Amino acid sequence: MAAVTYQAQALGLGGSRAVEASSDHELIAGVRDGNEDAFQEIVRRYRNPITNFVYRMLDDYDRSVELAQETFIRVYTSASRYQANHNFSTYIYRIASNLAISEIRQRKRRKLVSLFSPFTNEEGDTIELDPPDHSSLQDESLIQDERRRAVTRAIASLPQKYRAAIVLRDIEEMSYDRIAQVLSLSEGTVKSRINRARNLLKEKLVAYI
């Protein structure tokens, strides 16, 4: 902790090189001390992964950018309460995950009837109807685009609780224990959800695997 404080003081005096070389914990200590450069560096490090993560959860780019910004605002405003018990990345992904899940729930409440989600699984979660497309495609770039769209659609159609776990695991490539920390779940539950998510994705993406 003393090292962190020392580095934070150094951040206040030092230039951009000191900021870039600092660890996440040192940066958040700098933010707590009012160092704008430290916050800027945190934003630079995490803006793309957080935006991508939220986008995978929502399949809505504009809203994802807004929620990614909201994530950084919360980091900034609650910097004084941050405790370095876990990785900072776990902390910031947890904020983003909570925001994304909250957004999904709000959308679910607003959505009255969807022609694409008339089914539910055995746990009562809505499952969107996304039948596999077996039609052939001519051009390689078209195939790539179609594959990306299919993956995005397939992930977006997963039940929310499976979606967060599979995105963190197979797209953000987090370990099981970190996913468990981000989602505040046990590791066993995370493994189970990822397994179910993969089984669902396998059915939806059968034409591409």
For residue 46, what are the CA distances in angstroms to 54, 72, 92, 118, 160? 12, 9, 9, 37, 23
For residue 113, the minimal CB distance to other proteins (Å) is 28
Q: How far apart are CA 67 and CA 208, in angstroms?
A: 31
Residues 16 to 45 in contact with other proteins, rule: CB under 8 A = 40, 43-44
Q: What is the DSSP letter of 81?
A: G
Q: Is 72 in the site for other proteins (CB under 8 A)?
A: yes
Q: Name which position in 63, 94, 147, 161 contacts other proteins (CB under 8 A).
A: 147
Contact 134, 94 (CB under 8 A): no
Among 123, 141, 173, 184, binds other proteins (CB under 8 A): 173
- The Cα–Cα gap between 54 and 68 comes to 7
8-16, 96-104, 113-121, 195-203 -> range binding other proteins (CB under 8 A): 195-203
Q: Which stretch binds other proteins (CB under 8 A): 2-10, 96-104, 118-126, 193-201?
A: 193-201
Q: Does 175 bind other proteins (CB under 8 A)?
A: yes
